[in-house]
Structure 1
Amino acid sequence: MFGGGGGLNPRKMEQMMKQMGIDVDELDAEEVIIRTAEHDLVFTDADVTKMDARGQETYQVIGTPEERERGSAGDAGGAGGDADAGFEDDGGSSGSAIPDSDIEIVAARTGVSEDEARDALEAVDGDLAAAVDRLE
C-alpha cells in the first residue's frame, strides 16, 4: 500500500494510517469460509484484520485454507437455508451426520479425543464454535 515501506516500524506505520483516517483492528475469528462456485475454502485458524478507511471496510485473511466440497462447510450464520444443509450427505465414517473433518478440527483445537469431539458436535447440532466452547 505504501510501496517500499519495509523500513517503517509498525508503530510509525500505525500513526501514519491514523493520520490518513484508516483504522485497523485484529479480529478474533474462529473460522472463515469463502464460498466459490466450485468449492468452499475454510480457514480454521486464520488471522483476520479489518481495515476501515473512511467507511470503506476491507478484510484481510491470512492462513491456509482447507478446500471442501461446495456447501459442506455448513451454514455459519443461518443466513438462509436449513442450518443442517452442510451436513446432509457428507457423513463421517461412523455414520454420524457430523463430517470427520469437523470432528478433527474440534479435537485438535481442544485436545480431546475424536469421540468426545463428535459427542460435543452432536450435542450442538454441528456448530463448531459451540462445540469448542463446550469442551474448553
Structure 2
Amino acid sequence: MMPGGMNPRKMKQMMNKLGMSMDPIEGVTRVTIETAEGTYLFEDAEVVAMTMQGTTTYQLTGTPKFEGAGVIDSAPVEAEISDDDISLVSMQANVSLDAAKAALIETNGDIAEAIMKLGDQ
C-alpha cells in the first residue's frame, strides 16, 4: 500500500489521468551539481524522471556533501518550489495556493505526493 492508503495501481491510474509519468533512473552512482559557490555531490542518489504536460523534471533524493573553498560539508538541501508547481497542485487538488504550497513543502516538492495528500483530506 502507498501512503494515505492508496494502492499503487490506483495511484498509477490517477497519474495517467493527469498526464503524469514517473520513471526511476536505474544505476545512478553519483550526481554532481556545480554552482558558483562550490559543488554538491550526491553519492548513491536516487533519481526519478517525472514527465507532466510534456515537461520532464528530475527529482533527486540523497544526502549531499558540499565542496566549496576547500571545505566539505554535509548539508540538507530543501527542494525549491516554483510558483508553477504551486499553481498546478492548487488546480489539480482544487485547494488554495497556500494549501498547495504547504503540501509541497511537506512533501519536499513532490507534486504527485502533494496532490494525493490533498486529495485524501
Structure-2-length-normalised TM-score: 0.49
Structure-1-length-normalised TM-score: 0.44
Q: Which of 1 and 2 has greater Rg? A: 1
Greater strand percent: which structure? 2
